[in-house]
Amino acid sequence: MKTKSLILVMVFCCLSLSVIAQEKSKKELRAARELQKRKETENLIGSKNFVFNAEKANPLGYRMIILDYNTYTIKVTEENVVCDLPFFGRGYNVAYGSADGGMKFEGKPENITIEKKKRSYIVKMNVKGKDDVYNLLFTVFFDGGTNVSVTSNNRASISYDGEIKALKAKI
């Protein structure tokens, strides 16, 4: 009787070990998720069609400001860039009586360059707005986290932290 129970326990152990060996560890699952996110980010950058959602503003010489979620964006396509971001800082040459205090502009992106670094992508572009020229510098990390620096002729430079996502299809 003891030998039968011993054999039964050994068979059960062998079967359970084979099932455990087939499961992925937490490290393997995390690595697979990171690889998937990296591929998604690479595809977004390569297509030049994405939306940046700003979460924090970092004005030059001021403290960091937390922004409303999914309210302030930069929509980038190959044909057009639409920016709707708040501005905190110093304006050098702003139209008198202007009620619009944000970084709001639209224009065709020019001189787009994409450079791959060790842990990120650097995307540079120039956009001519109605009254100003804007230089956008996107630092996109492989996990989708992004820092955008906006420099213009009429205002102090400002940077924003957030993430990029795919553009939603218009219905």
What confidence tens digit (pLDDT) does each residue in 61-93 have?
889 888 887 789 999 988 999 988 888 878 777
> What distance in Å separates the CA atoms of residue 121 and residue 138, rounded to the nearest whole number?
8
* 62 alpha-carbon distance from chain centroid: 23
Residue 141 to residues 35, 56, 64, 134, Cα–Cα distance (Å): 12, 16, 20, 22
pLDDT for the residue numbered 16: 59
110-159: pLDDT as tens digits? 998 999 988 889 999 999 988 889 999 999 998 888 999 999 888 889 99
pLDDT for the residue numbered 125: 92
Mean pLDDT across the chain? 83
pLDDT for the residue numbered 143: 87
pLDDT category at 56 given cuts 50, 70, 90 is very high
pLDDT category at 20 given cuts 50, 70, 90 is low
Helices and strands (H, E) in the chain, number of each type: 2, 10
Give the mean model confidence (pLDDT) for residues 45-56: 89
pLDDT for the residue numbered 15: 59
Q: Which residues contact 135 (CB under 8 A, 6 or more apart)?
A: 124, 125, 126, 150, 151, 152
Q: Shortest CA distance to 143 belongs to which of 164, 161, 122? A: 164
> What distance in Å separates the CA atoms of residue 91 and residue 43, rounded to the nearest whole number?
36
- DSSP-derived 3-state class of residue 12: helix
Choose between 62 and 101: higher pLDDT.
62
Examine the pLDDT at 160 and tell me if it is beyond 90: yes
